[in-house]
Structure 1
Amino acid sequence: MDSFSSVDFGQVFAGRRVLVTGHTGFKGGWLSVWLQRLGAHVTGLSLPPDQGPGFFDLCGVEGLVDSRIADIRDADAVHETLRDVDAEIVFHLAAQPLVRYSYRHPAETFATNVSGTAHVLDAAKSMDSLRTVVVITSDKCYDNREWTWGYRENDPLGGTDPYSASKGCTELVANAYANAFFSEPDGPRLATARAGNVFGGGDWGEDRLVPDIVRSAFSGTPLDIRSPSSIRPWQHVLEPLSGYLMLAAALTSQGRNYAGAWNFGPDVSGTVNVRELAGMIQKFWGPEAPKLIFQNEEPSAEPKLHEAGILRLDSTKAQTGLGWKPRLNLPEAINLTTEWYKAQLDGADMLSITRSQIDHYNSLMSETLLSNQVTAAQ
């Protein structure tokens, strides 16, 4: 497989019809803005946005895309809502994304993440112009053995909590559709993408570390931090999104060699524990940073929901096959994130702020491409 790094992936999307499920959410909103910036004609399918100051409303995403509201658990609603949509590229991000929520609502989690994926793929495979599908799952789709090394795409799937198991099942559903319906030589191609813990401006999800810290900063109230020693592969939202875009571009322009599963995780330097990440956010926030209280991790009589202690991804396949790699170190990623939220607090134009951060990231990608070209010519 040749590296995709020599191709300007952005040109692939100009003028194309793209469907993004989950466009009212955090990652789906960022992806929709980026695709619109690249000249794509974006249709979004999702639940209504959550109440409050979310990315979708703050950035006016509804005015940038053809926004359609439906619950992917309802197959008839999905087909009816997408009846007149003939997308060339589909990014499926709509999901129930929270581990702790999955303990409270396990059946809902499976219905959304597993059956919902099948409903979206059913609708997609009936689109005459379809060329590419990228299904976004999670690093938690792996059977986590608490290894210190990163999981590779051919490692076993699994999951001991409802969320993780649902993501493993999502991978199985996607693989079944890829083999049963997207395997013709000249037909559409399907890939899955797995990323770690993502943060960035505009995320207000519940039970998520960065949004909880930002809420604390906005309100001026101290925040209790659970599991401060848990290690996660932290990355800015633009990092995996760039991988999704490169993967879709490769599938669309260069063929089915790019079908299958792909990891998009941070460098080892981006894999730190909760306490370290929270402390870095405090530092970059400045004088008005919230007070953080780290919970005692000694065993207690209270039942505790299982959460992985350590989970890393090996992204060698994406680095060698796509030319993808993280462009932001962890301090840079945190700085971008705190700048976004502080701009919101100051009443700034958040679409303009978002576009400027996307443009900054694009410039980093261009610098890497130029460097690679110079190296290859020497």
Structure 2
Amino acid sequence: MIQGLPNRDFWRGRRVLLTGHTGFKGAWMLFWLEAMGARVTGCSLAPEQPQALFSHLHSPDRLASEIVDIRNPQELATLVARARPEVVFHLAAQSLVRRGYSDPHGTFATNVQGTNNLMQALAQVNTALAIVVTTTDKVYRNANDGRAFVETDPLGGHDPYSASKAACEMVVDGWRSRFAAEGCGIATARAGNVIGGGDWAEDRLVPDAVRAWSSGQVLQVRRPEAARPWQHVLEPLRGYLVLAEKLSSGADMAPAYNFGPRAESASVRNVLSLAAAEFGDVRTEFADTPEGPVEAQTLDLDPSLAEVDLGIQGLWGLDRTVTLTAQWYRNFLSGRQARELCEADCCAYLDSVRRASMACIQ
């Protein structure tokens, strides 16, 4: 078995509960899990965008029994009892910083109380061997000093979204001993900024750029020098899968893992410059001073722990990540099928994992 590559034999026939399966990352994760033969039960709200990736990759028929709001403990408990999951990936969240400002109540209700509802439902069923709860790189108390965060750094949050995800970490920690006593491993996964084909969410950099450029409009950028740890969506998903396998085996794992690129964070301006090169003649206007609600100017992660414990290393640098993402959108808008494009990216990524593994052996 190749280190750092999900084991298909482990996932074949495995009962998996995936919350947030209609979202961008969730749709990619569902695609990957089902390709390995897992028996996945989804739990999510209906897709927000009419062109949502989920709608292109998965049959709408499955939504009839899987549209459940994690803020509703009764409906959630019923779904969990039906699924009886062996592995749980909790991706459902209110995941937008600016929406957190406009709807702080809904943000905390989803990210904090929704997570607690899920933990309670799972404890009642008591079938899970592994639970991976995804949070964010924004859970850390950020002094904007440019230092890469490690998992033992203090948690914080200067906006409702970041604070709600830090609080989500505390909810998970409060349930940890309960699940450990039943032989279930649980860990949180803190991923850097994720991009890739099929994200159509409002107020995210790449989807906003694609919408503007493809319609001939000028892209307005409010924080061009903000730096983030950008990575392709397949990078952290691989980490989540391998982490779940380790937790299921009873291995002594850390309570949290960072998943991000090896390289330093890159600016919004840099990412857009790479993307624009793929789209051709496009127009972008950068604000002279930061606009909008307060957001961290600099954010960076240290992924060393995941490299040591899981054999997970970032494989695609910024250039390839942005180029492949831009090509996905350009091809999709030209009439190519989303499934075909996702399959091509998955094959390319798995080939990169195998090549990296062989290089390490040699």
Q: Same fold (TM over 0.5)?
A: yes
Deviations, residues 172-230 of structure 1 (Å, cap 9, x unaligned) = 00111112x1122x611101000111111110111111110010122111111111111
Pairing partner for 1:292 from 277, 284, 287: 284
Aligned-residue offset at 1:66: 8.7
- 1:1-378 correspondence runs (5 A): 5=3, 9-60=7-58, 62=60, 68-179=66-177, 181-184=178-181, 187-253=183-249, 255-269=250-264, 271-287=265-281, 290-297=282-289, 304-374=292-362
Partner of 2:158, secondary structure, is coil
Q: Tell me, in whole angstroms, the C-alpha distance in 2 between the residues paired with 1:14 and 1:130.
A: 16
Distance change in 2, residues 1:337/1:9 (3 Å): same
Deviation string 1:317-342 (CA, Å, 9 cap, x unpaired) is: 00111110011011111121112112
Name the SS of the counterpart of 1:308 in structure 2. coil
Q: TM-score normalised to the size of structure 2?
A: 0.95
Give the TM-score normalised by the residue count of structure 1.
Answer: 0.91
**Equivalent pair of 2:213/2:219 in contact (CA under 8 Å):** no
Q: How many residues matched?
A: 361
Aligned-residue RMSD, C-alpha: 1.8
Tell me by how many angstroms 1:128 deviates.
4.1
Rounded to whole Å, the distance in 1 between the matches of 2:254 and 2:314 is 21
Q: 1:132, 1:367 → 2: CA distance?
A: 29
Deviation at 1:353, TM superposition (A): 1.5
* Maintained 8 Å contact 2:6/2:241: no
Question: Gapped runs of 5+ residues in structure 1?
Answer: none
Would the alpha carbon gap of residues 66 and 135 (structure 1) be closer, same or farther in structure 2, given more than 3 Å must change? farther
Residues 145 and 219 (structure 1), Cα distance of their counterparts in 2 relative to 1, 3 Å cut:
same
| 8 Å contact from structure 1 (residues 189, 259) kept in 2 | no
Q: Is the 8 A contact 2:274 2:323 kept in 1?
A: no
- Contact conserved, 1:197 with 1:233, CA < 8 A, in 2? yes
> Which residue identity does 1:178 align to in structure 2?
R
Between the aligned partners of 2:278 and 2:324, the Cα distance in structure 1 is 10
